[in-house]
């Protein structure tokens, strides 16, 4: 408490990252261990390779059972010997399943999965840091990693063993197993998520019967993340798996897959922590569009619907994704969405945040996009012209202004006559817009007045004339005798005072002004 850094003395608002850096990298144990009873000391078993082949299977089972013992890694002094024995045994087991053939006999399957489940399936503990910011904070690492890592390694080697038989394993690696595996993706430890990613991918590849279930559960995780908690650490990893899954979808795409794209992947763009998984997300979206170009229009309309309103960083990401989509778009699809899309792009180039404007203007460096624009210049130029012309005069950032001049030049070369027309009508157009704006205000004002004139009537209603017909009549009256009503309303407020006095009051107000 006494050690106050100089910066903290000067300014109470030290940067978050600075404060965080002072903290040490923390690790935490699983919630599971602490509910267990104290472990019994382990005694080393003979090495598998030294055992006669007839006893190997029995020894293998014993070792698997030995590895079901769990230890407290937050306590770094107790059970050191047993921890070491388990670590060595796990290493040996990993080695045993990856180098030997014929070890995966049927009775071994339940023992193997039991050992795996006991070790890795645990309730993740509450986050040490409730407002964990994955972009800035150091993740809390799993304390038991020295053992858990080896168990994951073992699981992976088990799945990859050439003798591995899904038909036997499916009795143990079932829906419940997958569900628990998916829950672990919320782990804060990136090393763990990385293992999980590879493992789930293997399971998806080997167990055809689980595929639909895995996809559905991932859906559920995402939907919960989007609409309920906004918190799940493994979104990027799950998307990475999906990226390769989508790649293998058969054509024509099933309705289920299209629904996943439109109702899950597109809304995922609204997440606060988009930056953490945007690359993987955009990859998935583009994969879909490469499979089925007819999805382009709904996807782009979806992105436009969720276009960020205040977060510039996200806006840059959206623009990046749009460029990735445009890279693979078919010209016929482009025609369908060019208008709404370029209206958005035209807003982006006028963005006061130079990174947003710059990212949008970079589209004009892309040869393919240029060719699409050129093909549709009659439609696009009128949309873009006003914004470009205005920021060429107004933007505060000289780089942006320079870029805009280049873009204007490119556009002019594409259709010189249209460009000239737009230049000469620019002023008139602006004026027309302004006039429209004024008209709108006028209209609303009129509506307001209507409402004002209806006011006394609404009050009447609430005072005990619930009849609908009455309401209707009053409504008509008020439309025709608006001025009368206003006067009578004024008289009502004056009520018992001298009418002359109230008149004086209301007249004196303009005088004073």
Partner 1 sequence: MAGADGDDSLYPIAVLIDELRNEDVQLRLNSIKKLSTIALALGVERTRTELLPFLTDTIYDEDEVLLALAEQLGNFTMLVGGPEYVHCLLPPLESLATVEETVVRDKAVESLRKISQEHSPVDLEVHFEPLVKRLASGDWFTSRTSACGLFSVCYPRVSSTVKAEIRQHFRTLCSDDTPMVRRAAASKLGEFAKVLELEYVKSDIISLFTALASDEQDSVRLLAVEACVSIATLLPQEDLETLVMPTLRQAAEDKSWRVRYMVADKFSELQKAVGPEITKNDLVPAFQNLLKDCEAEVRAAAANKVKEFCENLPEDNREQIIMTHILPCVKELVSDTNQHVKSALASVIMGLSTILGKDNTIEHLLPLFLAQLKDECPEVRLNIISNLDCVNEVIGIRQLSQSLLPAIVELAEDAKWRVRLAIIEYMPLLAGQLGVEFFDEKLNTLCMAWLIDHVYAIREAATCNLMKLVEKFGAEWAQNTIVPKVLGMANDPNYLHRMTTLFCINALSKACGQEITTKQMLPVVLKMSNDQVANVRFNVAKSLQKIGPILDSNALQTEVKPVLEKLASDTDMDVKYFAQEAISVPPSHSSLFTPLAAVILEPQSPQRTTTFSPSVRWKVLAADGATSC
Q: Which residues bind partner 1 (CB under 8 A)?
A: 1, 4, 8-10, 12, 31-32, 34-35, 123, 125-126, 176, 179, 220, 223-224, 227-228, 263, 267, 305, 343, 440, 443-444, 446-451, 453-454, 458, 461, 466, 468, 471-472, 475, 478-483, 511-513
In the complex, the smallest distance separating the C-beta of residue 34 from partner 1, rounded to whole angstroms, is: 3
Quote the least distance from Cβ 326 to partner 1, whole Å. 22
Q: Which long-range contacts (CB under 8 A, 24 or more apart) does 327-336 make?
A: 327/366, 327/368, 327/369, 328/286, 328/289, 328/290, 329/289, 329/293, 329/296, 329/372, 330/293, 330/296, 331/372, 331/375, 333/293, 333/294, 333/296, 333/297, 334/372, 334/376, 335/376, 336/296, 336/297
State the minimum distance, in angstroms, from the CB of residue 447 to partner 1.
6
- 429 vs 454 by CB, closer to partner 1: 454
Strand, coil or helix: 141: strand
Helix (H) or strand (E) holding 27: strand 27-28
- The first and second tokens of residue 494, run together, are 């004056």
| Helices and strands of the chain, counted as H and E runs | 25, 2
DSSP annotation of 28 reads: E
Q: Which is nearer to partner 1, 156 or 304 (CB)?
A: 304
Tell me what percent of the chain is helix, strand and coil, each rounded to the nearest 5. Answer: 70, 0, 25
Closest distance to partner 1 from the beta carbon of 105 (Å):
31
Tell me how far, at minimum, the Cβ of 104 lies from partner 1, in Å: 29
Residue 432 vs 446, nearer CB to partner 1: 446
Closest CB 11 distance from partner 1, rounded Å: 8
Q: How far is the CB of 437 from partner 1 (least distance, A)?
A: 10
Specify whether the CB–CB gap between 179 and 219 falls below 8 A: no
Count Cα neighbours of 180 within 13 Å in the Cβ-side half-sphere: 14
Looking at 269-376, list the stretches that DSSP marks H as alpha helix, in order from N- to C-terminal side: 278-291, 296-305, 312-328, 331-349, 354-361, 367-375
Sign of the CA dihedral 380, 382, 386, 391? Answer: positive
Q: Which is nearer to partner 1, 212 or 416 (CB)?
A: 212
Give me the least distance between CB of 10 and partner 1, in Å please: 7
Report the nearest approach of partner 1 to the CB of residue 432 (Å): 16
Give the shortest CB-45-to-partner 1 separation in angstroms.
Answer: 30
- Listed in sequence order, the residues at least 6 apart from 203 whose beta carbon sits closer than 8 Å to its beta carbon are 159, 173, 178, 181, 210, 214
Q: Given the complex with partner 1, which of 35 and 53 has the nearer CB atom?
A: 35
For residue 187, give Cα distances in angstroms to 230, 273, 278. 15, 16, 19
The nearer residue to partner 1, 171 or 176, going by C-beta atoms, is 176
Phi and psi angles of residue 407, each rounded to the nearest 5 degrees, phi first: -65, -45
In the three-class reduction of DSSP (H, G, I as helix; E, B as strand; rest coil), residue 134 is classed as: coil
d(CA 232, CA 235): 6
Q: How far apart, in Å, are the Cα atoms of 280 and each of 181, 234, 262?
A: 20, 12, 16
Of the pair 294, 461, the CB lying nearest partner 1 is at 461
Token pair, residue 114, equals 């039991």
Q: 127 exposed, middle or buried (CB, 10 Å; 0-12, 13-18, 19+)?
A: middle
Our CB check for partner 1 shows the closer of 156 and 455 to be: 455
| Beta carbon of residue 309, minimum distance to partner 1 (angstroms, whole number) | 8
- Residue 218 beta carbon to partner 1: minimum distance, rounded to whole angstroms: 12
Q: What is the largest CA-CA distance in the chain?
A: 119
Closest of 399, 363, 397 to residue 380, by C-alpha: 363
Nearer Cβ to partner 1 (101/463): 463
């Amino acid at each position: 408490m006494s050690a106050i850094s100089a910066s903290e003395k000067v300014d109470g608002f030290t940067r978050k990252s600075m404060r965080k850096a002072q903290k040490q990298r923390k690790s935490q144990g699983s919630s599971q261990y602490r509910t267990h009873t104290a472990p019994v000391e382990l005694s080393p078993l003979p090495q598998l390779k030294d055992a006669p082949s007839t006893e190997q299977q029995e020894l293998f089972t014993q070792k698997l059972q030995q590895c079901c013992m769990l230890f407290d890694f937050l306590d770094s002094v107790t059970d050191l010997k047993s921890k070491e024995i388990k670590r060595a045994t796990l290493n040996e087991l990993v080695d045993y399943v990856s180098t030997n053939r014929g070890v995966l006999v049927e009775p071994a399957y339940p023992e193997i999965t039991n050992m795996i489940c006991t070790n890795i399936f645990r309730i993740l503990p509450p986050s040490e840091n409730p407002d964990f910011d994955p972009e800035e904070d150091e993740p809390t690492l799993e304390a038991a990693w020295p053992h858990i890592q080896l168990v994951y390694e073992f699981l992976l080697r088990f799945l990859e063993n050439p003798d591995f038989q899904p038909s036997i394993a499916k009795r143990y690696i079932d829906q419940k197993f997958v569900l628990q595996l998916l829950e672990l993706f919320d782990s804060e430890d990136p090393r763990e998520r990385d293992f999980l990613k590879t493992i789930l991918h293997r399971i998806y590849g080997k167990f055809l019967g689980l595929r639909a279930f895995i996809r559905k559960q991932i859906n559920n995780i995402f939907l919960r993340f989007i609409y309920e908690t906004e918190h799940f650490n493994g979104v990027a990893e799950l998307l990475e798996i999906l990226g390769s899954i989508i790649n293998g979808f058969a054509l024509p795409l099933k309705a289920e897959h299209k629904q996943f794209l439109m109702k899950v992947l597109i809304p995922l763009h609204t997440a606060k922590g988009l930056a953490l998984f945007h690359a993987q997300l955009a990859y998935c979206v583009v994969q879909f569009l490469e499979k089925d170009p007819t999805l382009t229009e709904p996807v782009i309309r979806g992105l436009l619907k969720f276009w960020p309103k205040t977060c510039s960083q996200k806006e840059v990401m959206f623009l990046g994704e749009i460029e990735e989509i445009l890279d693979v778009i078919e010209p016929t699809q482009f025609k369908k969405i060019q208008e709404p899309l370029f209206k958005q792009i035209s807003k982006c180039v006028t963005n006061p945040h130079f990174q947003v404007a710059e990212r949008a203007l970079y589209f004009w460096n892309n040869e393919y996009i240029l060719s699409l624009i050129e093909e549709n210049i009659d439609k696009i130029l009128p949309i873009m012209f006003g914004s470009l012309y205005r920021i060429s005069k107004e933007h505060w950032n000289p780089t942006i202004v320079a870029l805009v001049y280049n873009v204007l030049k490119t556009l002019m070369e594409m259709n010189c006559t249209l460009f000239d027309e737009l230049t000469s009508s620019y002023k008139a157009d602006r004026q027309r817009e302004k006039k429209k704006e004024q008209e709108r205000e006028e209209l609303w004002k009129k509506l307001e007045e209507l409402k004002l004139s209806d006011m006394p009537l609404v009050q009447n209603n609430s005072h005990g004339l619930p009849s609908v017909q009455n309401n209707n009549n009053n409504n008509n009256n008020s439309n025709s005798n608006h001025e009368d009503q206003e006067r009578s309303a004024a008289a009502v407020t004056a009520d018992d005072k001298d009418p002359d006095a109230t008149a004086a009051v209301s007249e004196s107000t303009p005088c004073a002004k």
